[in-house]
Structure 1
Amino acid sequence: MENLFRVPKKIIALGLFLFLSSCSQNEMVNGDVQNSASQSLTAKINSGKLNVFKGPEVTLGYGKVRSWISIDKNGYPNEIGIEITPDALKNLITDNAKTLPTDGRTIVVPLHLKAKQYIPFDHIGLNWNPHGHQPEHVFDVPHFDFHFYMISVEEQMAIPEWSPETDATFNLYPPSGYMPADYATPPGPATAEPQMGKHWAPINLGDYLPFSKILIYGSYNGKVIFVEPMITLDYLLSNSEFHVDYSQPEFFQKAGNYPTKYNIYHDATTGNTYVTLSEFVSRTKI
């Protein structure tokens, strides 16, 4: 078990298995295709060759979040993401029932209906963890989970708590090749969460410490159900820019356009922060 995630010796292996125990409505505008994924949504809108479809605004902290997807002039997805206004990252640390459910509960951020015609994602589930979660000294810092779900809200909310009776559905993993080869999840209840599923982390987890950002996969009842950038509040507030290709499975359970890169960037003009997926590749069902 200790070698499963290749973490520093001072970190208890059992703790690592608990690392995610916490883890106008629609509008379309025109924008431009640019080489840099870091170009702000505002700049894309103001240019001319992308169609940008926005989902409804959702309250977060003192501000708002919303989803959006950009489609190029050939009808191919360019980028999907969530836009976070500056005030959305305020008023979060204490329990604020009027603005945000705390302790990991999900805020549903809907996608524009147009998005579902081009990509396999159904909605984004936003989870705020004000105190982080286990294991200690790993993910126990304030952070957000951005779940890009490939199942409906109803299916997501129907995922039960782990119990001996529900163990079989949590630990029925996708067949070999449907998860990236360098990702793993421990057996049993570890990383199994209600309304989320089973969480899979990079095997070389120690390379991502100290934690500021990481990409997680999720499964439930034999299917891959989400891709999840997990990002600390400090990193989002730093206005840093980050773009990286993330590990891909060999096979896909549903044909469609799947992203291969995740991005974090900031718009100095509006102050908005973006967490996005991009560099889509067409996949066939195998």
Structure 2
Amino acid sequence: MRNFNFQLSLQIILSSLFLIAFNSCEPENNLNSGEEIIQSDLKVNQSDPSEKINDFYGPTQPMGNGVVRSVVSIDHNGDPVAVGVIFSEKALANLPDEDLSLTLELHNKAEGLIVNHIDFGFNPHGHAGPGFSVEHFDMHFYWISVDEKLSIPFSAGMDDLPDAGIWPEGYGPDAVTVPQMGRHWLHESSFSSDFDQTFIYGSYDSKFTFYEPMITMEYLKAKNFEDSYQIIPLGAYEEPGYYANSYEITYDPVKKQYRVMLTDLFWAGGS
């Protein structure tokens, strides 16, 4: 009996060591979908327990040598305070030489947000626009469903613009609607400064339909970000939901991951 107990104890110890070793070698893209973090990385008052924020992740997708996924941050009342994307530093390595676009679903706790889903795009050779021909990322936060987005056709002309009274100040529309995307609206400052990051609105069928932070690869790798970036508001909000007043770009040197988050959310729209 004593020998049996010794063998059993040895088996338990060896099994535990195997599990520890296995977990430590687990691939990065096996992160749990919908994982909850007790305290978010958002800049909140850590000394006030009432401001504790939980993060809820959407499904993980591989990108480069790393992973990317959506995240929504929710306060103790169950209200969203931020929504965005989180991606590992390794995701910036070994990227393809052609355009890449990943559609990121939100966690099912992302209730009330005007954002329906996020398209995370990589443009290795850039695209048309003032200084946009450099390697950069497009992050479309769509206010419409995936099916609605995919049904958008190409069109030219200015016949389907939103009412001029709700245009964001300083923004103007592109002359074409990009298929499966929409019409892009650039701020006047985009034409007078070097592009490292900028913020774009989108519209389709006379309604605004997405937010879009655009960020260069060089700017991400430099990791010299401002505390936050203002979003110029619309003149009015038609659809009820949580909209954003600002966005943040952050890098965590311990976790070696980036976040691009719509922040300072507020409720608007509806009668």
Q: Pick the TM interval, shorter chain.
A: 0.7 to 0.9
The DSSP-based 3-state class of the residue aligned with 1:230 is strand
Structure 1 segments unaligned to the other structure (5+ residues): 1-23, 96-101
Q: State the percentage of identical aligned residues.
A: 35
User: Which of these residues, 151, 157, 167, is aligned with residue 158 of structure 1?
Assistant: 151
Matched, 1:230 2:214: yes
- Given that residues 171 and 220 in structure 1 are in contact (C-alpha distance below 8 angstroms), is that contact kept between their aligned partners in structure 2? no
Deviation string for 1:108-130 (max 9, x for gaps)? 01111211x13111110111110
- Given that residues 40 and 55 in structure 2 are in contact (C-alpha distance below 8 angstroms), is that contact kept between their aligned partners in structure 1? no
Name the structure 2 match of 1:203: 188
Q: Structure 1 residue runs of 4+, over 3 Å off?
A: none
Name the structure 2 match of 1:74: 77
Aligned length: 236
User: Which of these residues, 158, 168, 174, is aligned with residue 180 of structure 1?
Assistant: 168
CA distance in 1, matches of 2:257, 2:35: 18
User: Which of these residues, 131, 134, 140, is aligned with residue 128 of structure 2?
Assistant: 134
Correspondence 1:186-265 to 2 at 5 A: 186-187=174-175, 189=176, 192-207=177-192, 209-242=193-226, 243-265=228-250
- Given that residues 58 and 64 in structure 1 are in contact (C-alpha distance below 8 angstroms), is that contact kept between their aligned partners in structure 2? yes
Deviation string for 1:253-275 (max 9, x for gaps)? 11122111011110010110111
Deviation string for 1:132-153 (max 9, x for gaps)? 1124x71110000000000111
More helix by share: 2
The DSSP-based 3-state class of the residue aligned with 2:147 is helix
Displacement of 1:177 in angstroms is: 2.8
TM-score, normalization by structure 2 = 0.80
Matched, 1:51 2:75: no
The DSSP-based 3-state class of the residue aligned with 1:204 is helix
- Given that residues 37 and 55 in structure 2 are in contact (C-alpha distance below 8 angstroms), is that contact kept between their aligned partners in structure 1? yes
**Segment of structure 1 superposing worse, 256-265 or 210-219:** 256-265
Deviation string for 1:21-58 (max 9, x for gaps)? xxx33233322586x26x9xxx9xxx982222110101
TM-score, normalization by structure 1 = 0.76
User: Which of these residues, 27, 37, 57, is aligned with residue 35 of structure 2?
Assistant: 27
- Backbone CA RMSD of aligned residues: 2.3
Larger radius of gyration: 2
User: Which of these residues, 87, 101, 116, is aligned with residue 84 of structure 1?
Assistant: 87
Higher relative contact order (CA 8 A, sep 6+): 1
Sort the Cα spacing of 1:49 and 1:32 in 2 relative to 1 into closer, same or farther, 3 A.
farther
- AA aligned opposite 1:226: F
The DSSP-based 3-state class of the residue aligned with 1:113 is coil
- Given that residues 82 and 264 in structure 2 are in contact (C-alpha distance below 8 angstroms), is that contact kept between their aligned partners in structure 1? yes
User: Which of these residues, 106, 109, 112, is aligned with residue 111 of structure 1?
Assistant: 106
Deviation string for 1:43-87 (max 9, x for gaps)? 9xxx98222211010111111001111111122221111111011
More strand by share: 2
Deviation string for 1:213-234 (max 9, x for gaps)? 0000000111111000000011
